[in-house]
């Protein structure tokens, strides 16, 4: 049986790269978020504030650049553009 990976470990590469980039400008906030992600295994266990911070500090677009539509509620709340969705514990 595979051990569950933390949300930090299933971040998409571009999201993780942007998170570390923002660590320079917002060290306390980003470090706190990284610790939260390392200790959380399900997106549904994140607080509303943590979800907002994940979107903010990974520089995730909230508008689809092709259609110019806002992300759906599901995409936003479950961070589908940020975490690898093929992992069994992503939701």
For residue 22, being part of any structural domain is answered with: yes
Q: What is the pLDDT of residues 4-44, one digit of tens each?
A: 899 999 999 999 999 999 999 999 999 999 999 999 999 99
The reported pLDDT for the residue numbered 90 is 47
What's the half-sphere exposure (Cβ side, CA atoms, 13 Å) at 49?
Answer: 5
Domain count, the chain: 1
Q: What is the pLDDT of residues 40-76, one digit of tens each?
A: 999 999 999 999 999 999 988 776 667 767 777 777 7
The per-residue pLDDT of the chain, averaged, comes to 85
Predicted TM-score (pTM) of the model is 0.80
For residue 85, being part of any structural domain is answered with: no
Cα(78)–Cα(85) distance, rounded to whole angstroms?
A: 10
> Which domain does 31 fall in, by range?
7-77
The reported pLDDT for the residue numbered 24 is 95
For residue 66, being part of any structural domain is answered with: yes
- Measuring CA to CA, which residue among 79, 82, 8 is closest to residue 41? 8
């Amino acid at each position: 049986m595979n051990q569950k990976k933390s949300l930090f470990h299933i971040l998409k590469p571009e999201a993780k790269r942007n998170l570390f980039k923002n660590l320079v400008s917002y060290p306390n906030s980003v470090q706190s978020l990284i610790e939260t992600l390392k200790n959380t295994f399900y997106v549904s266990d994140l607080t509303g504030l943590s979800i907002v911070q994940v979107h903010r500090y990974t520089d995730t677009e909230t508008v689809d650049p092709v259609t110019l539509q806002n992300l759906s509620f599901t995409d936003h709340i479950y961070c589908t553009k940020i975490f690898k969705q093929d992992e069994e514990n992503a939701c």
